[in-house]
Amino acid sequence: MARLHSLHVSVGVLSISGGSLLLLVNNYGSSPEKDFIPHTALGILLLIIAVLLAYAGICCSLSNAQMFSSLCLTISALWCGSGLVYILVGQGVLQPTELRPSLVPGLAAFTLALLFIGGIVVVVKKAVLALIAIGISLACAHQIAGLSAAGFGQSATAANYLLVFLVGVYFGFGHLLSTITDGKVEPPGTGLERKAEMKTEQNQGCSDAVSVGLVMNLLSASVLACPLLGVVPQLSVGHVPWLWTAGVFQLGMCVLFYRGMDTLAATFYGFTALLKLAEGYSALLSFYSIQPFSPVPFPVVFSVLFSILALFSCQKSLLEGLYLLFYAAYCIAIAAQPQGFFQRGTQGVQGAIFVFSAGMLLITTFNMVSTTMIPTGQGYFKDLVTRIQGLTLRVHDKELHVPHLGYSKYADAEVLGHACSVLAAFAITATVGDRNPLSVLVLPWVVAAGGVLQLLCGSVAFARGKTFESTVFILYGVMWAVWGLTRYGGLYGETRSFNVAVGIISFMLFNCLVTAAALFLNVAWFAYALTFQLILISFLLDAVGALPYGYDIAVTIIFGLVSFYCFLAHIFNSTFQSPQIPLGKPLVKLSGVGGGADICPHVPARKATSVQQIAEIMKNGGICGMPTDTVYVLVAACNRPDAVVKAYKVKKQAQDRPMSLWISSIKQLEPVRHLLSPLLLDFMEAAWPSSISMVIPRGTWMDIFGLGDAAKHIGTPQSIAIRNPDCSVATHLINLVGPIAVTSANPTGEADTTHHNQVYAKLGKRVDGVLCDGPSPENIASTVVDCTKIETGHIGFFRVGLIPKSKVLQIFEEVQKRHIHGQTNPAFEYELQLSDTQRDNS
Query: Which amino acid makes up residue 113?
Result: A
3-state secondary structure of 689: coil
How confident is residue 652, by pLDDT bands cut at 50, 70 and 90? low
Q: Tell me what pLDDT residue 62 has.
A: 67
Max alpha carbon distance in the chain (Å)? 107
> What average pLDDT does this structure show over 726-736?
91
* CA–CA distances in Å: residue 565 to residues 312, 400, 580, 583, 673: 16, 21, 13, 9, 67
Among the listed residues 716, 729, 726, the one whose alpha carbon sits nearest the alpha carbon of residue 635:
729
Among the listed residues 91, 136, 92, 102, the one whose alpha carbon sits nearest the alpha carbon of residue 117:
136
pLDDT tens figures, 146-191: 887 766 677 888 899 999 999 988 888 887 887 777 767 777 766 6
Q: What's the DSSP call for residue 190?
A: -
> What average pLDDT does this structure show over 249-261?
91
> What average pLDDT does this structure show over 442-467?
87
Which of 340-354, 493-507, 624-638 is least confident? Answer: 493-507
Give the count of beta carbons closer than 10 Å to the beta carbon of residue 147.
18
Q: Tell me what pLDDT residue 2 has.
A: 62
What gap in Å lies between CA 17 and CA 172, rounded to an integer?
Answer: 8
| Sign of the dihedral defined by the CA atoms of residues 413, 415, 416, 418, in that order | positive
Residue 462's Cβ-count burial label (10 Å; 0-12, 13-18, 19+) is middle
> What average pLDDT does this structure show over 784-798?
88
Q: Tell me what pLDDT residue 353 has.
A: 95
Most confidently predicted of 32-46, 351-365, 588-602, 675-689: 351-365
Query: E strands of 654-802, at which residues?
Result: 660-662, 692-697, 719-723, 740-744, 769-772, 783-786, 796-799
Q: Are 403 and 589 in contact (CB under 8 A)?
A: no
Angle, CA of 139, 130 and 248, to the nearest 5°: 65
Comparing 88 with 298, which gets the higher pLDDT?
A: 88
3-state secondary structure of 627: coil
Q: What's the DSSP call for residue 675?
A: G
pLDDT tens figures, 518-551: 998 889 999 999 999 999 998 888 888 788 888 8
Q: What's the DSSP call for residue 651?
A: H
In DSSP terms, 744 is beta-bridged to: 633
To which H or E segment does residue 565 belong? helix 551-573
Pairing label, strands 692-697, 783-786: parallel
What gap in Å lies between CA 53 and CA 115, rounded to an integer?
Answer: 19
Which of 55-69, 84-98, 705-719 is least confident? Answer: 55-69
Q: Are 85 and 211 in contact (CB under 8 A)?
A: no
781's CB contacts (< 8 A; 6+ apart) are 630, 631, 744, 752, 799, 801, 802
* CA–CA distances in Å: residue 232 to residues 105, 278, 736: 8, 20, 71
pLDDT tens figures, 819-842: 776 554 444 443 434 444 444 444
Q: What percent of the chain has pLDDT over 90?
A: 36
Q: Tell me what pLDDT residue 123 has.
A: 83
pLDDT tens figures, 597-626: 457 888 888 888 889 999 999 999 999 999
Q: Quick check: 237 pLDDT over 60?
A: yes
Residue 677's Cβ-count burial label (10 Å; 0-12, 13-18, 19+) is middle
pLDDT tens figures, 98-152: 889 999 999 999 999 999 999 998 887 888 889 999 999 999 999 998 887 766 6
What gap in Å lies between CA 307 and CA 305, rounded to an integer?
Answer: 5
Q: Tell me what pLDDT residue 397 has.
A: 55
Query: E strands of 639-698, at which residues?
Result: 660-662, 692-697
Q: Quick check: 769 pLDDT over 60?
A: yes
Q: What's the DSSP call for residue 260?
A: T
* DSSP string covering 304-352: HHHHHHHHHHTTT-HHHHHHHHHHHHHHHHHHHSTTGGGSHHHHHHHHH
Which of 609-623, 661-675, 727-741 is least confident? Answer: 661-675
Query: Which amino acid makes up residue 730?
Result: A
> What average pLDDT does this structure show over 491-516?
80
Model pTM score: 0.78
Comparing 749 with 714, which gets the higher pLDDT?
A: 714
What gap in Å lies between CA 801 and CA 783, rounded to an integer?
Answer: 4
Average pLDDT, the chain: 84
* CA–CA distances in Å: residue 160 to residues 49, 99, 133, 141: 18, 21, 11, 10
Domains and CATH numbers, the chain: 1-192 (no CATH), 422-575 (no CATH), 603-821 (3.90.870.10)
How confident is residue 401, by pLDDT bands cut at 50, 70 and 90? low
- Can you give 50-111 as a three-state secondary structure string? HHHHHHHHHHHHHCCCHHHHHHHHHHHHHHHHHHHHHHHHHCCCCCHHHHHHHHHHHHHHHH
3-state secondary structure of 156: helix
Q: Tell me what pLDDT residue 558 has.
A: 95
